[in-house]
């Protein structure tokens, strides 16, 4: 089960642990102590402090022109992919979306449901390998192969986009990122439903048909979000170190938990939402930090980028934990406690790597 599932399910030991450790969050104090790193009104916010109930701070600056039946979740994932390209392009098959391609390929190759179930172990192994950077098994789809080539043409591996591409190319790039998001949903769901648009297109789906799943209003929205990021969050791209989609020693026990990015030892979560953060969002950051049992990433601070609001905020990790717990706490002690909640799972041992 994923970390977000654990944080929402009262029967989860993780939910119960946080209920005991963090019975109540002082949202007002937590946000007032936040460091405002970027935002269109960041100077004013720095003077007055970020208020939890301040409508002007949390009112979205970017919204789709037509929000009826809007694919909010897919757009959030798609913008995550677009934002990463402001940092560095990697091989598409190494993305979580690549694991979704494996899941879909097994589904299409199976002649009957039973055969698909028999391939589930192989699909799991491919997904688990992606968590530790191992090359994925070659279970590809024709449309994905063409997507990878087109994506690499626009943004070569190892390079990044310093701004938006020319309009025609940027619109293509947004559509490619949206398709990646649909593949990722297959990976995270762990199942495939025949009525999903990307499934209904079939094994031989062309790149053109895949890109057509992304509506013009979605492209316009993503381009507007990218412009706002360049105005408010671009400071992140001038970093000394970066890790995109980091996983942790406890990731497998948490259903493959992966964060959005770590920039200069600050763990950030990207939120493309109309809603201000609540208990689950604040604890999600803590969950990732605690899952880093061996302190591999040496996380020193945590934060959010709220892409619709253009708001970049962060806290020193020790201060964040103190405010949440209502007292000073030991990170080492909390990590040990958290580790005991999780079943011992070693990806390399499971895969005999």
Per-residue pLDDT 10s for the chain (353 aa) are 689 989 999 999 999 999 999 999 988 889 888 888 876 555 655 555 566 555 677 889 999 999 999 999 999 999 999 999 999 999 998 999 998 998 898 888 874 455 445 555 565 565 565 555 555 554 578 999 999 999 999 999 999 999 999 999 999 999 999 999 999 999 988 778 889 999 999 999 999 999 999 999 999 999 999 999 999 998 999 999 999 999 999 998 888 889 999 999 999 999 999 988 899 999 999 999 999 999 999 999 999 999 999 999 999 999 999 999 999 999 999 999 999 998 765 554 444 54
Q: Which letter does DSSP use for residue 160 in this model?
A: -
Neighbours of 250 (CB within 10 A): 23
In this prediction, residue 81 carries a pLDDT of 98
Residue 156: CB atoms within 10 Å: 10
Residue 343 carries which DSSP code?
P
Q: Which pLDDT value is given to residue 350? A: 47
Cβ-contact 335, 293 below 8 angstroms: yes
Residue 87: name the closest of 236, 233, 229 by CA.
Answer: 236
* pLDDT value for 255: 83
Residues 6+ apart with CB under 8 A from 255: 1, 2, 3, 5
Q: How far apart are CA 6 and CA 153, in angstroms?
A: 40
Pair 14, 3: CB distance under 8 Å: yes
| pLDDT value, residue 116 | 47
pLDDT at 43: 62
Distance CA 205, CA 184 (A): 17
Question: What was the pLDDT predicted at 112?
Answer: 45
- Interior angle at CA 192, CA 191 and CA 195, nearest 5: 145
- How far apart CA 67 and CA 1 sit, in angstroms, is 31
pLDDT for residue 91: 93
**Phi, then psi, of 271 in degrees rounded to 5:** -125, 110
Nearest to 64 by CA among 169, 219, 210, 277: 219
- Rounded to whole angstroms, the Cα distance separating 100 from 106 reads 10
Whole-number pLDDT of residue 51: 61
| Residue 190: per-residue pLDDT | 75
Residues 6+ apart with CB under 8 A from 1: 9, 12, 254, 255
| pTM, entire model | 0.88
The pLDDT of residue 109 is: 80
Q: Note whether 10 and 3 are within 8 A (CB).
A: no
Which residue intervals of 233-330 are DSSP H helices? 279-291, 317-325
Alpha-carbon dihedral 126, 128, 133, 139, rounded to 10 degrees: 10
Nearest partner of 296 among 325, 271, 259, judged by Cα = 259
Q: Tell me how far apart the alpha carbons of residues 40 and 61 are, in angstroms, rounded to a whole number.
A: 10
pLDDT at 45: 57
What pLDDT does 108 receive? 86
Torsion of CA 115, 123, 174, 169, to 10 degrees: -90
Which residue, 28, 178, 151, is CA-closest to 89?
151
Say what angle helices 167-189 and 96-109 make with each other, to 10 degrees: 60
């Amino acid at each position: 089960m994923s970390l977000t599932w654990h944080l929402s399910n009262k029967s989860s030991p993780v939910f119960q642990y946080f209920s005991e450790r963090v019975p109540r969050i002082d949202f007002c104090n937590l946000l007032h102590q936040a460091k405002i790193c970027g935002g269109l009104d960041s100077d004013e916010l720095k003077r007055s402090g970020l208020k939890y109930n301040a409508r002007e701070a949390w009112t979205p600056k970017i919204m789709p022109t037509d929000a009826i039946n809007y694919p909010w979740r897919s757009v959030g994932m798609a913008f995550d992919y677009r934002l990463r390209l402001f940092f560095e392009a990697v091989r598409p098959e190494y993305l979580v979306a690549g694991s979704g391609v494996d899941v879909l390929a097994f589904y299409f190759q199976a002649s009957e449901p039973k055969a698909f179930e028999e391939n589930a172990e192989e699909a799991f192994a491919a997904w688990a390998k992606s968590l530790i950077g191992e090359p994925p098994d070659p279970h590809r789809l024709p449309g994905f192969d063409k997507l990878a080539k087109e994506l690499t043409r626009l943004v070569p591996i190892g390079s990044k986009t310093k701004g938006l591409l020319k309009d025609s190319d940027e619109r293509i790039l947004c559509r490619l990122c949206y398709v990646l998001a649909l593949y990722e949903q297959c990976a995270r769901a762990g199942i495939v439903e025949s009525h999903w648009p990307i499934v209904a297109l079939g094994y031989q789906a062309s790149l053109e048909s895949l890109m057509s799943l992304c509506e013009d209003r979605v492209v316009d929205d993503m381009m507007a979000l990218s412009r706002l990021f360049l105005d408010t969050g671009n400071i992140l791209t001038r970093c000394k170190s970066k890790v995109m989609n980091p996983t942790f020693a406890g990731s497998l026990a948490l259903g493959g938990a992966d964060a959005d990015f770590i920039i200069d030892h600050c763990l950030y979560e990207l939120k493309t939402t109309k809603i201000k953060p609540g208990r689950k969002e604040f604890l999600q950051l803590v969950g990732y930090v605690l899952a880093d049992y061996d302190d591999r990433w040496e996380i020193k601070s945590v934060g959010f980028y709220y892409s619709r609001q253009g708001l970049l905020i962060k806290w020193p990790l020790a201060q964040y934990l103190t405010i949440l717990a209502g007292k000073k706490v030991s990170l080492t002690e909390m990590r040990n406690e958290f580790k005991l909640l999780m079943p011992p799972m070693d990806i390399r041992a499971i895969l005999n790597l």
